[in-house]
Structure 1
Amino acid sequence: MHAVDFTTTPRDLRAVAIMKDFDMSKRDGTPRSALVTGGNSGIGLAVAQGLGQKGYKVWIAGRSAEKGAAAVARLRPHTPAGVEFLPLDVTLFADIEKFVSALRPQLGGRLDALVHSTGALNAKRVVSADGLEGSWATQFLGRYLLTEAFTPELASADDGRVVFVSAQPPKNPRLFEDDPSLEKNYTIMRAISQAQSASALYEQMYAAEHPDGPAINGANAGVVANTGIGRAQPALLRMTSKAMSAAFGISPEQSAKNIVALASDPALEGVSGYCFPKPQNLQKRRKLAYSEEHLASLRRVLAKYATTKSKLLSA
């Protein structure tokens, strides 16, 4: 992985941001590969289509086999290198292990891009069979475990990349170390804040641990219409959110542009440990630089899942 020269002028960066003809579709004559979690609908589906149009072989993952089949049918005309669906419930450890075991042999030892677009907004606390709070599992823990599991394949690619699709990273991250599943005091805002905090801290930590790649960055999806992510909200809040996103939001395809670029644009090779807070604007970026105290908090939380991580690495 090569370092990026940040002495480029704003005009140069604008040129980078609007590149449309870059082609990273092949390495050694074989298509590049991408895994998009949450790829059977919304932003994830748009990202999968964008990468497929650039020649990537795409795997999409999601809970619903019915939605997965429909997504594959929609994507197939846009993915000449091929598209496949694999079922995955990121709130279940056994399901993650089964997924990793199923996909790993198909990758041929290399994975070029891993895009996490899973999301959940639960007005009431939802708990998986493994006792995991839904937002924590969907928006962070499952992403973390999959990233760690496929790091060997990402590192074997010449420019492996990981993208966390999220919202604005918090200025003062907070983790509930003794109660990450929020059994004692659940609110939707606490759940969202904790997942976003853990994601931003992990992106910084992962980038520091892998200075030569794989690269990892966070992308703010923005206010996006018709994603279905808020369907578990109370009726009034759901109606308000839907009206706001319809009036001021962007389409999943518009949101996906930055994400596709972060996963594939050669001009962004070597960029790692950043958040991109403005959808459709790659010029705006901020280096993640949280304190060691915050990072230590995340390490203590992740230690709770060390056994699960080890099982996935050997799956």
Structure 2
Amino acid sequence: MRTIVITGGTDGMGAALARHFLSAGDRVVVIGRSRAKFDALLTTVTGDDRSAKQRAEFIAADLSSVADSRRVVEHLRAHHERIDALVLAASFIRQRRHTTAEGHEASWALFFLSKYLFVTGLAPLLRAAERPVIVNTAVPGARAGAIDFDDLEMREGFTFTRSNAQQRRANELLGLLATGENPGLAYVTWGPARLVRSSFAGDVGKGMKIAAAVLGRLLGQRPDAAVGPIIDIVGAPAPGRAAYRGAKKLTLTVGDHDDRDAARLAAAVGDE
């Protein structure tokens, strides 16, 4: 039986993946903020409902909190011998800069620091799996120079576009660190082929909310349809780094100093 860990597993694509893997007979650990949503998710699982409930675990956490991310990693290491697949899908969109109680820029904390802590902290459990895979829903393709190493938390000149590009590029470099430590690991940065209908959790302006709602209804794909390529990747992982939009494999972005940049990034956040 595989062990699948999904952050952001109570909504949208994360919930669709949790339903699929539970129905397929896997052990699934869902990390999210709402126990009520997790309980509701379990009622939609097909197959042996009693068995699914026994194979499902919920860990409540706000992954924009470094302390919460560390707590979840420690819990997983204490209660599981291996992780076959780690899906990093937690999301909360912010158009404006927001500082957490710990003093971090919230989007950077959620979309990179938490992922860094999961990938590095759970490395021993992933190494224990026969065919380990990480699927990071950081849409690939950000330019190589998107990271401002002198101001990672964008205390100056914050924009949604800059913040988004920096997080995405940092997660691509995280793949270099992860596969360097574990050559047998498959590390995939992935984004949907097109808009996905979801509850669109976030702190955004009215214009973005309306656009997301309207376009989602008109053009969006259902979460259970959108995650098909992720299910395929988890089912047949290929060691090394890769990038996908939907089922289409993309060329990885290559910079002149990727290894140096990855090491610089690790040094900058390693004490978190």
- Which residue number corresponds to residue 88 of structure 1? 61
Cα RMSD, aligned residues only: 2.1
Q: Which of 41, 50, 60 is residue 71 of structure 1 equivalent to? A: 41
**What is the CA distance between 1:219 and its match in structure 2?**
1.4
Work out whether 1:240 is the aligned partner of 2:204: no
Cα drift, residue 197 of structure 1:
1.0
Aligned counterpart, 1:169:
141
Q: Deviation of residue 131 (structure 1)?
A: 1.7
What is the rounded CA distance, in whole Å, between the counterparts of 1:37 and 1:113 in structure 2? 11
Distance 1:72 1:130, change over 3 A: farther
1:167 deviates by 2.0
SS at match of 1:225: coil
The offset of 1:89, in angstroms, is: 1.7
Is the contact made by 1:219 and 1:258 (CA closer than 8 Å) also made in structure 2?
no
Tell me the secondary structure at the aligned position of residue 86 of structure 2: strand
Give the C-alpha shift of residue 99 in structure 1.
1.4
Q: Which moved more, 1:151-160 or 1:231-240?
A: 231-240
* CA deviations over 1:269-298 (Å, ceiling 9, x no partner): 334301012x2x2xx213425235244234
1:241-284 Cα offsets, whole Å, 9 max, x none, are 22122211111111111112212x1xx3334301012x2x2xx2
1:303 matches 2:267: yes
Deviation of 1:104 after TM superposition, in Å, equals: 1.9
Gaps of at least 5 residues in structure 2 are: none
Which of 56, 68, 76 aligns to 1:103? It is 76
Task: Give the match's secondary structure for 1:58.
Answer: strand
Q: What stretches of structure 1 of length at least 5 have no aligned partner? A: 1-30, 309-315
Determine the structure 2 residue equivalent to 1:32.
2
Measured against aligned partners, the alpha-carbon deviations of 1:21-66 in whole angstroms (never above 9, x if no partner) come to: xxxxxxxxxx210100000111100011122222210000012333
Partner of 1:179: 151
1:307 CA displacement: 2.6
**Whole-angstrom distance in 2 between the partners of 1:205 and 1:287:** 19
The aligned amino acid for 1:70 is A
Does 1:151 find its partner at 2:151? no
Within the candidate set 220, 227, 230, 1:256 is matched to: 227
Identity %: 23
CA contact (8 A) 1:53 1:80 kept: no
| Distance (whole Å) between structure 1 residues aligned to residue 168 and residue 132 of structure 2 | 23
Deviations 1:46-90 (A, max 9, x none): 011122222210000012333333334444838376111001222
Closer, same or farther: CA 101–171 of 1 in aligned 2, 3 Å: closer
Deviations 1:113-147 (CA, angstroms, capped at 9, x unpaired): 10000122212211212222122121222111111
User: Which residue does 1:275 correspond to in 2?
Assistant: 243
| TM-score under structure 1 length normalisation | 0.78
